């Protein structure tokens, strides 16, 4: 298989995938030996989509919990969504 980006040689191997700074795992992918571009296999992409979706939902739920707590503790203070997300991420 040739790299669609540069035509270089591809090497099949396991590549770690990160989502929101969290490692989802190692997945089967073709890595270009020339430009280092990584192409996950279709199967790996499906797995990543599934796992990334799960991570996203978890983070959204945690963010909502943090937002509710913050509102109870500081009813007059409005927190930015980014601030809440950072808090939620830090708690996991
Ligand atoms: Zn390439």
Domains and CATH numbers, the chain: 10-91 (3.10.20)
With beta carbons less than 8 A apart as the criterion, state whether 48 and 40 touch: yes
Q: How far is the CA of 39 from the centre of ligand 1 (A)?
A: 10
Q: How far is the CA of 2 from the centre of ligand 1 (A)?
A: 8
- Average of per-residue pLDDT values in the chain: 86
Average pLDDT score over residue span 7-33: 92
The length of the chain in residues reads 92
Beta bridge partners of 32: 10
Q: How far is the CA of 4 from the centre of ligand 1 (A)?
A: 7
Q: How far is the CA of 45 from the centre of ligand 1 (A)?
A: 19
With beta carbons less than 8 A apart as the criterion, state whether 40 and 27 touch: yes
Q: Supply the pLDDT for residue 56.
A: 65
How far is 18 from 25, CA to CA, in rounded Å?
8
Task: Return phi, psi of residue 70, to 5°.
Answer: -60, -40
Say if residue 35's pLDDT is above 90.
Answer: yes
Say if residue 7's pLDDT is above 70.
Answer: yes
Q: Among residues of the chain, what percentage have pLDDT more than 90?
A: 30
Q: How far is the CA of 70 from the centre of ligand 1 (A)?
A: 48
């Amino acid at each position: 298989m040739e790299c669609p980006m540069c035509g270089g040689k591809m090497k099949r191997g396991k590549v770690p995938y990160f989502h929101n700074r969290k490692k989802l795992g190692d997945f089967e992918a073709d890595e270009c030996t020339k430009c280092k571009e990584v192409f996950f296999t279709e199967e790996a992409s499906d797995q990543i989509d599934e796992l990334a979706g799960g991570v996203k939902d978890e983070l959204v739920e945690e963010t909502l919990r943090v937002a509710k707590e913050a509102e109870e503790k500081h009813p007059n203070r409005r927190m930015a969504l980014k601030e809440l997300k950072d808090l939620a991420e830090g708690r996991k």
